[in-house]
Amino acid sequence: MTFLSHFFSPENHVKVSPRTQTLIALLLLSASAAQAADKPGTPGFGPNVAIFSPKTPAAEIQSQIDKVYAVQQHNQFGKDRNALLFLPGEYKVDVPIGFYTEVIGLGATPDATHISGNVRSEAASRNDNATTTFWKAIEGLAVTPANGQMLWAVSQAVPFRRMHIKGDIVLNQNKGWASGGWMSDSVVDGKVNSGTQQQWISRNSEWGSWTGANWNMVFVGVPQTPAGDWPQPPYTKIEKTPVVREKPFLITDAKGNFSVRVPNIMNNSSGVTWHAGSSPGKTIPLSKFYIAKPGDSAETINAQLAKGSHLIFTPGIYELTYPIKVTRPDTIVMGLGFATLKPIKGTAAMTVADVDGVTIAGLLFDAAETESPVLLEVGSQGSKARHIRNPTLLTDVFFRVGGAGIGKAKVSLAINSSDVIVDHTWIWRADHGAGVGWESNTAANGMVVAGTDVTAYGLFVEHYQEYQVLWKGNGGRTYFYQSEIPYDPPTQAKYTSAPNVNGWASYKVADNVTDHQAFGLGVYSVFRHPDVVLTRAIEVPQTPRVQFHDMITVALGNLGSIDNVISNTGGATQIKPRVTPKVTSYP
Dist CA 180 CA 201 (whole Å): 8
Residue 105 scores a pLDDT above 50: yes
What is the percent of the chain where pLDDT is above 70? 93
125 pLDDT higher than 60? yes
3-state SS class at 15: coil
358, burial (CB in 10 Å: exposed 0-12, middle 13-18, buried 19+): buried
- Assess whether pLDDT exceeds 50 at residue 386: yes
Angle at 67 between CA 80 and CA 253, to 5 degrees: 85
- Distance between CA atoms of residues 339 and 190, nearest Å: 33
In whole angstroms, give the CA distance from residue 203 to residue 236.
12
pLDDT of residue 576: 80
How high is the pLDDT of residue 3? Answer: 27
Q: Is 2 a residue whose pLDDT tops 80?
A: no
pTM of the model: 0.93
pLDDT digits (tens, 9 = 90+) for 47-80: 999 999 999 999 999 999 999 999 999 999 999 9
Of residues 9 and 399, the one with the higher pLDDT is 399
Pairing mode of beta strands 516-525, 421-429: unpaired
What pLDDT shows up at residue 578?
85
| Contact of 214 with 554, CB cutoff 8 Å | no
* Each residue's pLDDT tens digit, 155-210: 999 999 999 999 999 999 999 999 989 999 999 999 999 999 999 999 999 999 99
> What CA–CA distance (Å, rounded) separates 241 from 238?
7
Alpha helix (H) residue ranges in 39-105: 58-72
| Alpha helices per DSSP H over 213-317 | 298-306
Contact 390, 404 (CB under 8 A): no
Q: Which residues are catalytic?
A: 484
Mean pLDDT of the chain: 93
In this structure, the number of other CB atoms found within 10 A of the CB of residue 467 comes to 23
pLDDT of res. 42: 65
User: What pLDDT digit, counting tens, does each position of 212-227 carry?
Assistant: 999 999 999 999 999 9
